[in-house]
Amino acid sequence: MTEMVYGTVPVKGGEPVLPKWWRTVDKWTLSFIFMLFGVGLLLGLAASPPLADRLGQPPFYYVQKQTFFGGLAMVAMVLTSMMGPVMVRRLAVMGFFVAFIALALLPVLGTDFGKGAVRWYSLGFASVQPSEFLKPLFVILTAWLMAAGQELSGPPGRMYSFILMFAIVMMLAFQPDFGQAALVLFGWGVMWFVGGAPMLLLVGLAGLVVLGGMVAYNSSEHFQRRFDGFLNPEVDPTSQLGYAENAIREGGFFGVGVGEGQVKWSLPDAHTDFIIAVAAEEYGLLMVLVILTLYAAIVMRSLIRLMRERDPFIRLAGTGLAAMFGVQAMINMGVAVRLLPAKGMTLPFVSYGGSSLIAGGIAVGMLLAFTRSRPQGEIRDILRGRAR
């Protein structure tokens, strides 16, 4: 159908996969991802030894695990970015149903590791969090449904995607994992907006979110405790938020020095949810600004390249992946500086976590696949031609 409407463009045939990938991939975004992973290893060297000491492990036990899982994530990212959009879509749709079933079976087969929320499968040597893999796969499936719904005689893709989104959000809320539920809802809302949803419906969706928050506050002690702690003007100095706030204050502009930070000895999640506090204390505001700039650059470069795309599926899927990636980083750092309630969400490619790293590698690999240069006219040229 695309060729019938826009015509075909001669494609250079016979080019090997690796040279073609290197010629078409966004090298700046690729470099920024590797830089984020390098920053994560650097901060892991500072944040994880206290935890390893408490658990009787070698000092760099968690750094070694992060290097291993991060290496797998980088390989997964590169391999995924070499695929074409059709192959990405096919594999993502099949993977979605596997991850969806895994998420549905968590209450029966999952474990909470003593954290009060059943989010993981224990494999003995490692753990798997299905929601981390489900998020990018859900974005691809939703983009496919919405794009198909825009075609003549197409299916009601928006309605199907809404039903899937609602089911996933409910399953995540019952774990409870309100942070991941909010992230899935946000990603779906962004794609719905980009796909042309009326503003009235978006306002109605926002109202439903507020109503859902009120229900969660009245029915979930876990949610209520975290929200009350966020609203309380007095922060308990012995709480995770209290330690993080003090670390950020102590770090100042240049930090207290490499290895001189104290928050890593007090925060149990210093290597995961609150790793930005370690960065702020030991390396200061400068390191935090570097990390912020890297995330902003990845999101903005991806969105700018997606603006040139004329395939609605690629535009929707890429926008959803970029938005979800950026907002997850924003939520993690927002919690650390007490702009948001505590969520238990990792900082992509920086925090420790096998599921988070590998799922993040797959998600960014999909984003790189969608933002690769393709032999097509830019959408603005098509719109100008129609205007004539």
66-93: pLDDT as tens digits: 999 999 999 999 999 999 999 999 999 9
Specify the pTM.
0.88
Q: What is the mean pLDDT of residues 191-196?
A: 87
User: Is the predicted pLDDT of residue 15 greater than 90, yes or no?
Assistant: no
User: Is the predicted pLDDT of residue 297 greater than 60, yes or no?
Assistant: yes
Residues 6+ apart with CB under 8 A from 205: 189, 192
What's the mean per-residue pLDDT of the chain?
85
Q: What is the mean pLDDT of residues 119-124?
A: 84
* pLDDT given for residue 134 in this prediction: 95
Reduce the DSSP state of residue 124 to 3 states and report it. Answer: coil
| Region of poorest pLDDT, from 76-90, 204-218, 319-333 | 204-218
What gap in Å lies between CA 106 and CA 123, rounded to an integer? 13
- Tell me the per-residue pLDDT of 221-248, one tens digit each, with 9 for 90 and over: 767 777 776 777 677 666 777 778 888 8
* pLDDT given for residue 120 in this prediction: 86
User: Is the predicted pLDDT of residue 4 greater than 60, yes or no?
Assistant: no
CB 360 within 8 A of CB 326: no
* pLDDT given for residue 105 in this prediction: 93
* Block residue for tokens 């959803």: 320
* Block residue for tokens 């036990």: 61
Q: What is the mean pLDDT of residues 254-259?
A: 83
What gap in Å lies between CA 347 and CA 276, rounded to an integer? 8
Instruction: Give the rounded percent of residues in the chain with a pLDDT score beyond 70.
Output: 90
Residues 6+ apart with CB under 8 A from 104: 171
Q: What is the mean pLDDT of residues 286-298?
A: 95
* pLDDT given for residue 338 in this prediction: 81
* pLDDT given for residue 340 in this prediction: 82
Q: What is the mean pLDDT of residues 144-164?
A: 89
Q: Per-residue confidence at 24, pLDDT binned at 50, 70, 90?
A: very high
Q: What is the mean pLDDT of residues 194-201?
A: 79
Q: What is the mean pLDDT of residues 203-217?
A: 77
* pLDDT given for residue 283 in this prediction: 92
Please give the residue that has the higher pLDDT: either 52 or 89: 89
Residue 387 CA: distances (Å) to CA of 357, 380, 384: 45, 10, 5
* pLDDT given for residue 385 in this prediction: 52
User: Is the predicted pLDDT of residue 271 greater than 60, yes or no?
Assistant: yes
Q: Per-residue confidence at 13, pLDDT binned at 50, 70, 90?
A: low
User: Is the predicted pLDDT of residue 3 greater than 50, yes or no?
Assistant: no
* pLDDT given for residue 176 in this prediction: 81
Give the closest residue to 157 by CA, choosing from 139, 169, 141, 170. Answer: 141
Please give the residue that has the higher pLDDT: either 96 or 2: 96
